[in-house]
């Protein structure tokens, strides 16, 4: 497995911006723009890492302090693509050029994203952060930053020529209001539904528990009734990865969304209905019913 940390930086958001990814002293890269946003840097760092490791057979583990970048890559892309890269209000999704390239690079790749807290002393994250800030500072001085050795003999394609349309929030922290106001609720909840079935999430009690409402109840296809506590107690022995087809997302009320999906896993096929309820600043699964398809 290859473990890399990615990061982005913007001195004014938008302003001189940088991005970087770091594996070790022999494998890292950096770049940026004279004018860009923090989120552009976060996305570009992941994109360049994917490009440069394109021919590598090993699984790629990406450590990232940006919830925005992680959720773009793991949750929001399918809904945005289905809407023609527009939000539910009809306005275009920000950073489309980067997102479309990321979508292409992620196809068929074995990539695992993990959130790490920024500026908290994580060695790889601190290194990527320093390189991204150095790249932004270089553009502020009007010079080209050190681009690094890259990854082996992989081609260096450089930063995409994109232009920020307006300032964007710096979403490197897990704290604060979530999701950002610009993300359509149905896109966010569809992404959360997919995370609910993701193997790495279901084997992580903390990550899994974060998605479940305190009053969560599930009616299993077997006839069993499970609560949040009983489900988390057996999280480590849950079945393996699932293929999820979201059939529909319905806004039932301001704070309630119904997601209907077909789930294929371990030779079985289930039809699932999940009620998601806003709990403070987050959406959590409140109820789920499964039937054998």
The residues that are catalytic are: 7-8, 42, 65, 119, 129
CB 7, CB 63: distance < 8 Å: no
| H-helix segments, the chain | 38-52, 67-71, 77-82, 96-106, 123-141, 185-197, 199-202, 205-211, 228-233
Name which of 46, 61, 52 is nearest 26 in CA terms.
Answer: 52
Q: Exposed (0-12), middle (13-18) or buried (19+): which is 11, by Cβ within 10 Å?
A: middle
**Residues in CB range of 3: below 8 A, 6 or more apart:** 23, 61, 63, 124
Two tokens, residue 250: 């319905």
Two tokens, residue 17: 């911006």
């Amino acid at each position: 497995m290859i473990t890399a940390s990615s990061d982005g930086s913007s001195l004014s958001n938008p302003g001189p911006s940088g991005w970087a990814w770091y594996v070790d002293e022999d494998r890292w890269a950096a770049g940026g723009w004279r004018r860009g946003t923090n989120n552009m840097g976060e996305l570009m760092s992941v994109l360049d890492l994917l490009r440069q490791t394109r021919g590598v057979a090993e699984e790629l583990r990406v450590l990232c302090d940006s919830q925005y970048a992680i959720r773009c890559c793991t949750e929001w892309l399918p809904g945005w693509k289905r809407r023609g890269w527009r939000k539910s209000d009809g306005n275009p999704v920000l950073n489309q050029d980067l997102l479309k390239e990321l979508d292409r690079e992620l196809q068929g790749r074995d990539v695992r994203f993990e959130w790490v807290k920024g500026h908290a002393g994580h060695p790889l994250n601190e290194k990527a952060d320093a390189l991204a800030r150095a790249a932004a500072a270089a553009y502020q001085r009007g010079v080209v930053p050190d681009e690094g050795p890259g990854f082996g003999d992989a081609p260096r394609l450089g930063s995409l020529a994109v232009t920020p349309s307006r300032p964007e929030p710096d979403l490197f922290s897990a704290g604060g209001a979530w999701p950002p106001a610009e993300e359509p609720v149905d896109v966010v909840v569809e992404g959360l539904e997919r995370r609910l079935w993701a193997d790495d999430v279901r084997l992580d009690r903390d990550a899994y528990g974060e998605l479940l409402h305190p009053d969560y109840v599930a009616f299993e296809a077997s006839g069993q009734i499970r609560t949040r506590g009983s489900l988390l107690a057996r999280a480590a022995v849950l079945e393996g990865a699932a293929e999820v087809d979201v059939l529909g997302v319905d806004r039932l009320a301001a704070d309630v969304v119904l997601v209907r999906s077909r789930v294929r896993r371990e030779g079985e096929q289930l039809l699932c209905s999940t009620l998601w309820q806003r709990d403070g600043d987050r959406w959590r699964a409140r109820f789920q019913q499964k039937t054998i398809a």
